[in-house]
Amino acid sequence: MKIEQIYTGCLAQGAYYIVSENEAAIIDPLRETKPYLDRLEKDQVKLKYIFETHFHADFVSGHLDLSKKTGAPIVYGPTAQPEFGAIVAADEQIFDIGKIKIKVLHTPGHTLESSTYLLIDENGKETAIFTGDTLFLGDVGRPDLAQKAGEITDRDLAGMLYDSLQNKIMPLDDSITIYPAHGAGSACGKNMQKETVDTLGNQKKTNYALMQPNKESFITEVLHGLTAPPKYFGMNVALNRGGYESFEKVLKKGKNPLSVEDFERVAEESGALILDTRNAEDFHKGFIPNAINIGLKGDFAPWVGAMIVDVKQPILLVSDVGTEEEVITRLSRVGFDNVVGFLEGGFESWKNAGKEIDEVKRISAEQFASEFAENVKVIDVRKETEYEAEHIHDAFSKPLAYINDWVNSIDNSEHFYIHCAGGYRSMIAASILQSRGYGNFTEIDGGFAAIKKFDEVPRSNFVCQTKTL
């Protein structure tokens, strides 16, 4: 028997490849199927089942393409209602893969159809659980993402989740290995540990949700502090439940090189959003006016999902030469399939054509420290929890995730500084601000981490004081 965790760090997502004898199973595959097909071919095994723990909200699964290419059926847990052919298993139904078995445990709470898959090895021993978003390391799946019907509330789902954990997961042996669908950095939980594999026994000792004394306490703690989910989550659920265009077609359409002239024409005719995926250091020095910067070398796909409201939005890419396929692939993982082309030759071709160029004013943390004064206006776009831990005195907390809610309150006649933790998020914010006509600001290179290093800004300026804009 072989179990391989295929972890994708930029999505904090874990898929699983399991082999026994000449048969295999894959749990929660990503959109692109080649990595799985390559493994199957290398191991000379047949894919027998594709197991889905639930209808995912944060990424588009590869279940449909993988099933079409291998003939393997897709399996969901009880109550799932996919709009395509699939096995909707009964609670405790068992599936054979070689000499091992996979037992379905219906564990509703994160979603109504959420299920955990219990692996029973060749010797009949319960060995591992693939928990999807039911149980993470350090946390549990948030109960406010489900596509709810009728009078079911978040509290109802949290109560279901408590019952699922207590009745289906907690009674298992402490030696059971937990393989979750996500790790730290995913928006599907709020308190995940950095590890991606653990034992149930250790989670009973370290996971706050499993340590609650009763159901009411569990519901209160699990729901406390949840931020609004990214807007693309609901659209991804719809794609996972209803179907989507094949990844190969999406990639072929997006890998459409455009000259500077054609790029301009397509942008004007289609109303496409210009997405510049270069790093912040390169972007701020020059970019196509109105382009939005979300760097590929970061939490690219989740921030695209958070910043671009409509997954059907036409997108034109400006990327480092040679990275176009990776960009299109990572966009497709979160359902953004409408890339209509990319600027051939990258930004340099635009610059060499003598076209109009915009810039973001960026200064070093050292220069900011020398300019800092009591009347200086600073906007901090980090998460609220980061701000609460430590921030510049009198800085305004305006998380990037909510920029559409606060951008209109900006007074463009008043200069301000903007920063995040290291410069990635603040450049996203800067590009959005400039695309909407706000230009009277300065972005700080290196963010809060760099600012803290300079003694010119007294430590007394870093206090937990919340203000409203």
pLDDT at 415: 96
Strand pairing partners for 293? 276
> For residue 409, how many other CB atoms are within 10 A of its CB?
10
Q: The tokens of 126 are what?
A: 């319960």
Q: Is 370 helix (H, G, I), strand (E, B) or coil?
A: helix
pLDDT at 230: 84
CA distance to 225, 266, 287, 289, 443, per residue, from 447 (Å) = 25, 35, 21, 24, 8
Q: If DSSP states are collapsed to H, E and C, what string results for 372-399? A: CCCCCCEEECCCHHHHHHCCECCCEECC
pLDDT at 222: 96
The answer to whether 92 and 103 have CB atoms below 8 angstroms apart is: yes
Cα(243)–Cα(390) distance, integer angstroms? 44
Strands 23-27 vs 339-343: parallel, antiparallel or unpaired: unpaired
Question: Phi, psi (5° rounding) for residue 409?
Answer: -90, -5
CA distance to 56, 145, 302, 400, per residue, from 331 (Å) = 16, 21, 9, 19
Specify the CATH architecture of the domain 2-235. 4-Layer Sandwich (3.60)
DSSP string, 311-356: TT--EEEE--TT-HHHHHHHHHTTT---EEEEETTHHHHHHHTT--
Question: For the CA atoms of 20, 26, 27, 29, what is the dihedral angle to 10 degrees?
Answer: 160
Q: Is 166 helix (H, G, I), strand (E, B) or coil?
A: helix
pLDDT at 283: 98
- 224-275 confidence digits (pLDDT tens): 988 888 888 999 999 999 999 999 999 999 999 999 999 999 999 999 999 9
User: Residue 264, class by beta-carbon neighbours within 10 Å (0-12 exposed, 13-18 middle, 19+ buried)?
Assistant: middle
The answer to whether 350 and 260 have CB atoms below 8 angstroms apart is: yes
Q: Tell me which residue of 139, 250, 142 sits closest to 203, measured CA to CA.
A: 139
Q: What parts of the chain have a pLDDT lower than 50?
A: none
Cα(264)–Cα(272) distance, integer angstroms? 10
pLDDT at 458: 56
> pTM here?
0.91
Cα(418)–Cα(403) distance, integer angstroms? 13
Q: Tell me which residue of 158, 200, 194, 210 sits closest to 179, measured CA to CA.
A: 200
Strands 315-318 vs 396-397: parallel, antiparallel or unpaired: unpaired
pLDDT at 119: 98
- 62-106 confidence digits (pLDDT tens): 999 999 999 999 999 999 999 999 999 999 999 999 999 999 999
Q: Which CATH number fits domain 362-461: 3.40.250.10, 1.10.150.20, 3.30.70.141, 1.10.260.40?
A: 3.40.250.10
Q: What is the CATH number of domain 246-352?
A: 3.40.250.10
Q: Is 198 helix (H, G, I), strand (E, B) or coil?
A: strand
CB neighbour burial string for 103-117, b if at least 16 within 10 angstroms, e if fewer? bbbbbbbbbbbbbbb
The answer to whether 185 and 195 have CB atoms below 8 angstroms apart is: no
Cβ-based neighbours of 375, under 8 Å, separated by 6 or more: none
Cβ-based neighbours of 377, under 8 Å, separated by 6 or more: 396, 414, 415, 416, 417
Q: The tokens of 175 are what?
A: 């030696």
Q: What single DSSP character describes residue 165?
A: I
Comma-separated ranges of CATH 3.40.250.10 domains in the chain: 246-352, 362-461
pLDDT at 191: 83
Q: The tokens of 83 are what?
A: 């709009």
Q: The tokens of 271 are what?
A: 């109303």
